[in-house]
Structure 1
Amino acid sequence: MLYSKKRADFANNKFKLTSNKLLVMTRSLIDVLVVAVCLMIFSPSLSHAGTPAVFILGDSLYDVGTNSFIPRALAKANFPFYGIDFFNSTPNGRFSNGLNLADFTAKVALGESVTSPPPFQSLYNTGNTFSASLAKAIDFDPMRPWETPNKDFNFASIGMDKENPARGINFASSGAGIIDKTSAIDQSVAITQQLSQLMFVHGNLTATMGAWKTQFLFAKSTFFLCVGNNDINFFVMTRQKMDQEAYIEELIDSYNSTLRVLYNLGVRKFGIFGIPYVGCVPLVRVTVVSGECSERANDMAIQLNSKLEQLLCDMMINFKGMVYSFANSYDVLYELMEQSERYNFTNTIDACCGLGRFNAMTNCNPVANLCKNRKEYIFWDIAHPTQYAASIIINKFQFGGTNYARPINWSKLASL
């Protein structure tokens, strides 16, 4: 059942805006526009784009290689067949056959010629000083010469063409949850650690380019957050005995703390990737005897999304200058699965790459089954969309109406 329909069952948490709240929302949007004007007046180097940089926090849906730099991390995607449709068929840490959700998200704010910003760990582990690497990642030069990526994908290619990394930094780590105990399962970089890394970046920028410019940078840049999927998967798949309502409250409390930390760092533009239709991904289906979707997982996703939307609404009312766009990924994935013919998908259940039931008994690897036409599959591996599916998902968030992203879409958010 659609999240937008079923959330009515949770009447106490239903997202409603009174005329007074709409007035406050308008004032908040005006505050953001004022910041934009200040940036154009006081910082010409930042004035060439609505969003000068993109910062991404989250889990494997948005990981672009973080875990490849974490020796202890269990979930990695730096080997074939990952990246088979990426530039020169290069495994690169993305849980995708090519570009992933992070790459298409970066395009929303910075244009078609870019892929996702580099992972923080790649900057921190570089042979150059961190400050020099950071300065390169946060590159505001509007005349920056972009490289041209190789568009002729060939698995046997050994060329050296590279993607055009977008301005900004990606902190997302596969296995991360909104609570630390979830992240500990895969030894990933927890959200609390990702926030610490962002604070480190903020401090370094403040020291190198000044406090006021850093403040404007954070206020003007768009911050995208995608987390919560693993928390629900962990709870359902391990059959936790903890009260479900109490667990949802724990998750929303942690989400609240995360958003407040970001706001206190100066973040004002939030792109929030809601909890998807998680009960129907191959990873979860394979644990259900009948092979059907997990209703419990989907119900939990609906509850968490409802509470998250209410939290975001309340924060925008009470936190000056904050503006957000909540991406309804639950209904989007539901639509892709239920209206598969519309998007030319022929398989909405199995993973394109994997082994066993639903190709979900293992993650993608060099000896796994590999589908021939990736555009016919929604799922690339046990839990992540194919490049084609990812492009459709983000396109709906970017240009769609309030059934896909609300109260404004991602394109409008990035342009503020």
Structure 2
Amino acid sequence: MDSSLIPSSLLLRRMLLLLMTVFCKTKGALQLPPNLKVPAVLVFGDSIMDTGNNNNNTHTLAKCNFPPYGRDFQGAIPTGRFGNGKVPSDLIAEELGIKDLLPAYFDPNLQPNDLLTGVCFASGGSGYDPLTSKMATAISLSGQIDMFKDYIRKLEGLVGEDRTNFILANSIVLVVEGSNDISNTYFLSHAREVQYDIPTYTDLMVSSASSFLKEIYQLGARRIGVLSAPPIGCVPFQRTILGGLLRKCAEKYNEAAKLFNSKLAKELASLNQNLPNARVVYLDVYNPLLDIIVNYQNYGFKVGDRGCCGTGKIETAVFCNSLDPTCQNAGDYVFWDGFHPSESVYRKLVPPILQKYMYQFI
């Protein structure tokens, strides 16, 4: 749009927003390639990335905006992050030098300037399979797409169409799903187990993931990182339910995750070839996280098979609450609750993963 057609007050507002974006960036620890400029981080996914989008959802149990969640967060505030402190969404934005926290898109205190540097659309309990989000009453991937479209409209109102297109094309867009599909929808609820075997169910997951990625590409995303499913069978909850007296990892969950990951990696490679100017990158978190879980003492942790909250064996979300005792130091634990790692683990995972894969976004 010709700037002469924009009212002077709106033009001034846009200039001020852009200046605020420049001067409010944090100093990231990650050394980016000189030709890689990242204006914002945009995140889709589940509870690993959710920074509070489920807080006002009265129909879901997948929320954690209450103590002891957020115990080690700034001001010990439970913000709806599924952990004791920051989650990967925040740490990625921090490492890239964009900002200290990645706000939830549904945060009632969201500021216009936040839109320029990125937001989080993730919802705890969601998955690639539409049934997964429905069962958890979470925001489905189609619902997160609707949030993304609304975000784009607001961004265009703030900085215009050209700058919006630049932000979308150059931002790092991350997608984290799959755990709830395998652990909750397939194995735990058996809702899909009667319809599919694992090979065909993982095909369904990959097909849904591919459709989602094509849609956000059509909306302007170009640098898209998709995280693998983690070693789901080694989270405390699954070890307690299926690991026997010794609480070993539930290998059938891990095998399903690995099968899904292998198919996902191939599909992303195909998308990368067929979507012009796209950089669709597969990010392996399965192996580095499994190494931390198995060799936890090598990473400075004292407990690898239980969470910090309550007994550490099953408590998650509403079942990890102020009535439960918590460990003295969450930094000693690989897991915060029955499903989610502690902030200390995320801080060991995020920097090397970014360092390993960032060059692929160029």
TM-score under structure 2 length normalisation: 0.84
The aligned residue for residue 105 of structure 2 is: 120
The aligned residue for residue 254 of structure 1 is: 208
**1:398 correspondence with 2:349:** no
SS at match of 1:251: helix
The aligned residue for residue 13 of structure 1 is: none
Go from structure 1 to structure 2 and tell me whether the alpha carbon gap of 1:61 and 1:215 turns closer, same or farther (over 3 Å shift): same
Query: What does 1:47-66 align with in structure 2 at a 5 Å threshold?
Result: 50-66=37-53
SS at match of 1:55: strand
SS at match of 1:304: helix
CA distance in 1, matches of 2:351, 2:319: 27
CA drift of 1:208 comes to: 4.4
Deviations 1:67-122 (A, max 9, x none): 112222211111111111111111111111111111111123235xx333211112
CA drift of 1:297 comes to: 0.9
**1:137 correspondence with 2:114:** yes
CA distance in 2, matches of 1:344, 1:300: 29
CA drift of 1:178 comes to: 0.9
In structure 1, give the amino acid aligned to 2:189: T
Deviations 1:313-336 (A, max 9, x none): 111111111113322111011110
Go from structure 1 to structure 2 and tell me whether the alpha carbon gap of 1:65 and 1:386 turns closer, same or farther (over 3 Å shift): same
1:191 to 116, 125, 141: 141
**1:320 correspondence with 2:276:** yes
In structure 1, give the amino acid aligned to 2:106: Q
SS at match of 2:43: strand
Aligned identity (percent) is 28
**1:233 correspondence with 2:196:** no
Go from structure 1 to structure 2 and tell me whether the alpha carbon gap of 1:262 and 1:371 turns closer, same or farther (over 3 Å shift): same
CA drift of 1:395 comes to: 1.8
**Structure with more relative contact order (C-alpha pairs < 8 Å, separation 6 or more):** 1
CA distance in 2, matches of 1:362, 1:371: 18
CA drift of 1:306 comes to: 0.7
CA drift of 1:344 comes to: 1.2
1:370 to 326, 339, 343: 326
In structure 1, give the amino acid aligned to 2:178: G
SS at match of 1:301: helix
The aligned residue for residue 278 of structure 1 is: 232
Query: Which is further off, 55-64 or 176-185?
Result: 176-185
- Alignment check: 8 A CA contact 2:313 2:338 kept: no
Go from structure 1 to structure 2 and tell me whether the alpha carbon gap of 1:92 and 1:413 turns closer, same or farther (over 3 Å shift): farther
1:88 to 75, 91, 101: 75
- Alignment check: 8 A CA contact 1:223 1:269 kept: yes
The aligned residue for residue 40 of structure 1 is: none
**1:72 correspondence with 2:59:** yes
**1:298 correspondence with 2:254:** yes
Go from structure 1 to structure 2 and tell me whether the alpha carbon gap of 1:185 and 1:322 turns closer, same or farther (over 3 Å shift): same
Go from structure 1 to structure 2 and tell me whether the alpha carbon gap of 1:137 and 1:47 turns closer, same or farther (over 3 Å shift): closer
Go from structure 1 to structure 2 and tell me whether the alpha carbon gap of 1:103 and 1:47 turns closer, same or farther (over 3 Å shift): closer
CA drift of 1:209 comes to: 3.0
CA distance in 2, matches of 1:174, 1:81: 17
The aligned residue for residue 335 of structure 1 is: 291
Go from structure 1 to structure 2 and tell me whether the alpha carbon gap of 1:47 and 1:186 turns closer, same or farther (over 3 Å shift): same
Go from structure 1 to structure 2 and tell me whether the alpha carbon gap of 1:321 and 1:361 turns closer, same or farther (over 3 Å shift): closer
Deviations 1:30-58 (A, max 9, x none): xxxxxxxxxxxxxx968898111111110
The aligned residue for residue 38 of structure 1 is: none
SS at match of 1:370: coil
Gaps of 5+ in 2: 1-17, 24-35
Deviations 1:369-406 (A, max 9, x none): 31112121100001111010111111220224xxxxxx
The aligned residue for residue 30 of structure 2 is: none
- Alignment check: 8 A CA contact 2:43 2:49 kept: yes
SS at match of 2:93: helix
CA distance in 1, matches of 2:225, 2:316: 30
CA drift of 1:292 comes to: 2.1
CA distance in 2, matches of 1:369, 1:375: 16
CA drift of 1:343 comes to: 0.5
Go from structure 1 to structure 2 and tell me whether the alpha carbon gap of 1:81 and 1:360 turns closer, same or farther (over 3 Å shift): closer
Go from structure 1 to structure 2 and tell me whether the alpha carbon gap of 1:137 and 1:359 turns closer, same or farther (over 3 Å shift): closer
Go from structure 1 to structure 2 and tell me whether the alpha carbon gap of 1:218 and 1:323 turns closer, same or farther (over 3 Å shift): same
**1:213 correspondence with 2:163:** yes
CA distance in 1, matches of 2:341, 2:152: 32
SS at match of 1:138: helix
CA drift of 1:134 comes to: 5.8
1:110 to 78, 84, 97: 97
Gaps of 5+ in 1: 1-43, 127-132, 140-166, 401-408
Deviations 1:235-275 (A, max 9, x none): 12224223222211111110000000011011110122110
CA distance in 1, matches of 2:298, 2:144: 38
SS at match of 2:92: helix
CA RMSD of aligned residues (A): 2.2
Deviations 1:164-200 (A, max 9, x none): xxx2111111101112210112211111100111012
